[in-house]
Structure formats: structure tokens, C-alpha cells
A and B are shown apart, each in its own frame.
Chain A
Amino acid sequence: KNEVEQSPQNLTAQEGEFITINCSYSVGISALHWLQQHPGGGIVSLFMLSSGKKKHGRLIATINIQEKHSSLHITASHPRDSAVYICAVNPTQLTFGTGTRLTIIP
């Protein structure tokens, strides 16, 4: 069974700060997903990556397959980035981390 651990569990930062959320998993995978869950519960898929780095706007996701580790970075954070960020890995069904609750203070 793939164990997925995220850190930190909670993160509060000032608007404009650079944010890093980490995800570690225990067994080999072929892809890792970063998801954003809004306070109402809806989930948005941010990234699916299997190697290297992806960037979308102010969001950057990196993965190191050898180290079984991924990071999600948010540059120039904004209060609207406040949400729970969830890491999920395969290989068959998705296994989810417990999430990182991010709060950005104006």
C-alpha cells in the first residue's frame, strides 16, 4: 500500500510570500497529482506529473522519482490561494494525502 505524507499539515502566511508544500510517498508510481480543494469542498486538479517540473501561472510543481518526493510552490501568494492542497499518487487507484491547509493573510 502506498503511504502518502504531506507537510506541513497547516500553513499560514502573509500575502506575497513564497509557499512550499511537500509530499512524500512510499512506493513507486507513474504519476503524481496535485489537487486544490476549496472551502466548499470542490476539487480542482492542478497538476499531473511523472517527472521534472511543471508550471502554471504562479504555481510550480516538481517531482523527484528517485527520492519519492514532490513539492508544490506558490509564488506571490494571494488570499484567494487559501485552500487545502492535496497530493495523490497511483499506480492503480489514487491514494491521497491528508492535505495541507493553506491560509494566506492579506
Chain B
Amino acid sequence: GAVVSQHPSRVICKSGTSVKIECRSLDFQATTMFWYRQFPKQSLMLMATSNEGSKATYEQGVEKDKFLINHASLTLSTLTVTSAHPEDSSFYICSASVQGAPGNQPQHFGDGTRLSIL
């Protein structure tokens, strides 16, 4: 089945550091990738939709200058948390689909990245 690889799985770093998270589709081409954030015991919240070759679409309340998304190829999207602060500590997870609206396509999720900012 379709596999999405997300790295790193865990990051611990100091406040002010920028952190890059990679999301790769290993055996299929993902025209669309989605980045989610999840706080403890809460549901996933969509942060942005990443389309290959175009600018990401950010959800309301998500700072695009804070969370930089790049989708340079059909198999790779990156999320960079710039100048991270303790409030950015969370679980970040990506998903990918071949094409189309997210609800109408099977979603393939990465294993997530647990980010801890000291």
C-alpha cells in the first residue's frame, strides 16, 4: 500500500531554532499534501494544504511566515517552523493523496513529528 515517510520523528531544540520536517510519499506521486497539528488529547487540526509547484493554502489563524511550506516535487513536502518557541511544541503530522479533494481520496499519513521547544 501507499507509504508516507515523515522525518524526523522527534525533535527537541532550543527556543529560536528553526526546525524542518519532511514528508515524502515513497511509492506514489502526491499532488497534494496536508499538514496537521495535534495537541494532547485533541483532534487533528489542518494547518495548510500543500500543492506541488504552487503556494500552500493556509488555514485561518496559521501564520504562513511562521510555518513555511514547500512542495517542490510530487514526492516531497517540507514544513519549516521558523524561530520556534515553546508554544509551537506539538505533534505535527502530514498526509498525502494522489489528487482531488481530501475527503474524496484515501489519505496516507506519516508517522508524525513530536516537536518540543525548550
Q: What number of B residues sit within 8 Å (CB to CB) of A?
A: 25
A93-B49, A96-B44 known; A43 and B109 CB under 8 Å?
yes
Contact with B along A24-62 (1 / 0, CB 8 A): 000001110101000011111100100000000000000
B101–A90 touching, CB < 8 Å: yes
The total of interchain contacts (Cβ-Cβ below 8 angstroms) comes to 66
Q: Report Cα–Cα, A30/B101, bound state, in Å.
A: 10
For B86-109 the 0/1 string (1 means CB < 8 A from A) is 000001010100000111111111
Interface size class of A (residues with CB under 8 A): 20 to 34
B49 neighbours in A (Cβ, 8 Å): 93
Contact surface of B with A, Cβ cutoff 8 Å: 34, 38, 41-46, 49, 91, 93, 95, 101-112, 114
In the bound assembly, the distance between CA atoms of A41 and B106 in angstroms comes to 19
